[in-house]
């Protein structure tokens, strides 16, 4: 199953791959011909795996904040959040390599109070300063247990488009599709300081499944 954001790219890549394979059949040097065909087929397979959208059965729990994405926890620290809260929060950042599933899921259920897109740079997504300098979207969901929780989609060095479905005024459900970031990225969570964080730096997490923090 593939994410809808990848349909056009997958279709275009399929036709391009087919065309190149057909054209290279005219090459008499078998090593060159096979080499080109193998490379283009590998690239097509990589595009397919990037846009995969595996079904996840989220166990909805209002006392848990779950991971929005698949990836590796690269940052857990207390920070001063400047954009919305303007106070101290615990930041938990998950980095996604191009090989990870890039679907973004809602970490909690609630009402979307804030949703804003920021144009920016395309620094390597695991760098701390990418949270404020890179292209990104900021979403705040109000939840009856945790209050306001922010998650931020951040473009990486390869990413060139962030898709955000979480619009202000929308009631969202934990684990449902919140958007997509194309080709390498990161998601930051900004949590209340009195929360219990259940992961450590270096942990690998699955979006819609693994619990990041609890009340």
Which residues are within 8 A (CB) of 191 and not within 5 positions of it... i.e. 6 or more apart?
65, 89, 90, 91, 92, 146, 149, 197, 212, 213
Q: Is residue 176 part of a domain?
A: yes
Same domain, 95 and 117: yes
When mean pLDDT is compared across 122-126, 141-145, 182-186, the lowest value belongs to 122-126
Same domain, 165 and 202: yes
CA distance 173 to 118: 24
- Residue 165 phi, psi (nearest 5): -95, -10
Active-site residue flag, 185: yes
Residue-wise pLDDT for 83-139, tens only, equals 999 999 999 999 988 788 888 999 999 999 999 998 866 555 555 555 666 788 999
Closest by Cα among 138, 142, 60 to 104? 138
Range of the domain at 17: 4-50
Same domain, 86 and 164: yes
Higher pLDDT, 45 or 184: 45
The pTM of this model reads 0.81
Task: Tell me the percentage of the chain whose pLDDT exceeds 70.
Answer: 89
Same domain, 74 and 166: yes
Same domain, 42 and 69: no
Same domain, 41 and 73: no
What stretch of H or E contains 12?
helix 7-24
Residue-wise pLDDT for 41-53, tens only, equals 998 888 887 778 8
Q: Is residue 58 part of a domain?
A: no
Mean pLDDT of 132-158: 85
Same domain, 108 and 160: yes
Same domain, 171 and 125: yes
Same domain, 35 and 68: no
Same domain, 31 and 99: no
pLDDT of residue 156 exceeding 80, the answer is: no
Q: Nearest 5°: CA angle at 202, between 199 and 203?
A: 45
Mean pLDDT of 158-168: 79
Same domain, 119 and 83: yes
pLDDT in the model for residue 183: 65
Q: Quick one: pLDDT band at residue 151, thresholds 50, 70, 90?
A: very high
Average pLDDT, the chain: 87
Q: Is residue 56 part of a domain?
A: no
Mean pLDDT of 65-86: 94
Q: Is residue 30 part of a domain?
A: yes
CATH number at residue 204: 2.70.70
Q: Quick one: pLDDT band at residue 160, thresholds 50, 70, 90?
A: low
Q: Is residue 199 part of a domain?
A: yes
If one counts the domains in the chain, the total is 2
CA distance 214 to 195: 6
pLDDT of residue 170 exceeding 80, the answer is: yes
């Amino acid at each position: 199953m593939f994410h809808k954001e990848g349909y056009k790219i997958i279709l275009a890549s399929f036709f391009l791959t087919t065309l190149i394979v057909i054209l290279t059949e005219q090459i008499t040097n078998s090593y060159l011909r096979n080499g080109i065909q193998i490379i283009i087929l590998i690239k097509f397979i990589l595009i397919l795996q990037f846009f995969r959208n595996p079904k996840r059965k989220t166990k909805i729990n209002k006392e848990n904040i779950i991971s929005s994405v698949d990836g590796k926890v690269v940052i857990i620290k207390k920070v001063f959040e400047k954009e919305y809260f303007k106070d101290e929060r615990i930041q938990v950042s998950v980095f996604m390599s191009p090989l990870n599933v890039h679907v973004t899921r809602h970490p909690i259920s609630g009402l979307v109070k804030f949703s804003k897109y920021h144009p920016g740079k395309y620094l390597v997504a695991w760098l701390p300063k990418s949270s404020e300098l890179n292209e990104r979207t900021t979403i705040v969901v109000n939840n009856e247990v945790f209050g306001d929780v922010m998650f931020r989609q951040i473009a990486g060095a390869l990413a060139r488009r962030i898709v955000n479905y979480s619009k202000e005024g929308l009631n969202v459900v934990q684990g449902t599709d919140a958007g997509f970031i194309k080709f390498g990225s990161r998601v930051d969570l900004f949590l209340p300081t009195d929360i219990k964080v259940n992961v450590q730096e270096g942990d690998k997490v699955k979006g819609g499944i693994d619990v990041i923090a609890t009340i």
